[in-house]
Amino acid sequence: MGIKKGTKLTDTPKDKVLRVRIDDDTETKLEAVCDHTKMSKSDVVRKGIEMQYAETERK
């Protein structure tokens, strides 16, 4: 079949799914960050994970 038309090719495919439960306050904060940075919720979470990972690597 090959690659479907419109499929984005990437070196790092995002094929894993993570579901989390958050409270209303956390959701409000996440949406505020998304609005301010013009990033998606997924991108904000990925960046947060990278920041936390970098912090643990310094220790």
Is the entire prediction scored with pTM above 0.75?
yes
pLDDT on residue 6: 66
Count of CB atoms within 10 A of residue 7's CB? 8
Mean pLDDT over 33-47 rounds to 97
pLDDT on residue 25: 98
pLDDT on residue 12: 86
Distance CA 35, CA 28 (A): 11
Chain segment 1-37, per-residue pLDDT in tens: 566 666 677 888 888 999 999 999 999 999 999 999 9
Distance (Å) of CA 26 to CA 19, 36, 42, 51: 14, 15, 14, 18
Which helix (H) or strand (E) element contains residue 24?
A: helix 24-37
